[in-house]
Amino acid sequence: MARTVAQWAEFVGGTVALKDQNDVATVEIKGAATPEMAGPTDVAFLQDPRSIHRLLRCRAGVLLVRPQDAELPEAQNFRQIVVADPQTAFVKILADVRPVRMPARGIDRTAVIHPTATIGDDCYIGSGVSIGEGAVIGRGCDIYPGVVIGAGCQLGEQVTIYPNAVLYADCLLDDRVMIHANAVIGADGFGYRFTEGRFEKIPQLGWVHLHRDVEIGAGAAVDRGAIGPTVVGAGTKIDNMVQIAHNCQLGRHNAIAAQVGMAGSSSTGDYVRMAGQVGVADHVHMNTGCTLGAKAGVHKDIPAGETWIGIPAMPEADQKRLLFSTRRVPQIRDDLKALQSQVEELKAALLALLPASRAA
């Protein structure tokens, strides 16, 4: 909805800059956009001076700024709403002008629900959904078209599962878990024994437990444990196309970027961060607060709070030192060749001097 600058300032608990008092009651702002895309009827934000370059081509009608940034020359070109945290204020405005589309409550007539399944109040069950024997769906859940929920699954309240995601039997999802499209939760772990010249499957009889506020990205997979559960701790966010193998134990509030692969029985503490395409070997533990850079190949435990990068992963400072040394190899090779030439010249000169020396 459209509001004046003054009304938006009140909405986010901010104040209008003194220089902008003349028109704050008349100028209407009805959208929110990045500084690069904002137009005269949009609000944009400046989080800190490090992103000041983003204002060079900005045409926003009003700018959210911190008190300490309001006097920056680049920021002075805009109407200003001064707030303690511009990004938080921007998100609040964005949610108001662009509300999330919520599906209507009720069960679609094409959904296939086993008679023993339990559906809580105020749920949305979309077309073609399949809910298995003994499954429990908590209050206020959104189950989008094509979702399959296996027998014995238990969903807490306000769980959201987007189209075509699959929950194998006996998965446990706590309150406010979000599963994006085409994710697979509870598939068999990759467990085999090689015997008598062939692979023999090891039964995967555990389950998956996603704690409250976990989010699983599109196309991601979290495999069931072989005996006990594969666990993802509260608040952990897993990006698209991530593989969490059987028996993994993830802590709370981890952030795992796209295409990470965690092998069986690996584990994390709380607040661990993994950048894209990190690969983690089996039975490795990443301790609380550690960070892994993109494409890191993790083959041993990572100490708490440390940042490791590279293949194989090692402490950031060590890996950078190794990288810089490697980059110098061509120059070192050229220098070595030059030294070898100088040595040969000196040897030749010395040999030329020896007869004269002996004669003297």
Active-site residues: which are they? 246
Task: Give the C-alpha separation, 207 to 54, whole Å.
Answer: 47
- Burial of residue 295 (CB within 10 Å: 0-12, 13-18, 19+) is middle
Q: At what angle do helices 329-359 and 316-327 cross, to 10 degrees?
A: 50
Q: Are strands 124-125 and 142-143 parallel, antiparallel or unpaired?
A: parallel
Phi, psi of 236, rounded to the nearest 5 degrees:
-70, 140
With tokens 């934000």, the residue in question is 45
Q: Which of 292, 258, 242, 245 is nearest to 272 (CA)?
A: 292
Return the C-alpha torsion angle 265, 184, 224, 279, nearest 10. -10
Q: Please, which residues have CB within 8 angstroms of residue 181's CB and are 6 or more apart in sequence? A: 144, 162, 163, 164, 165, 218, 219
Cβ-contact 104, 122 below 8 angstroms: no
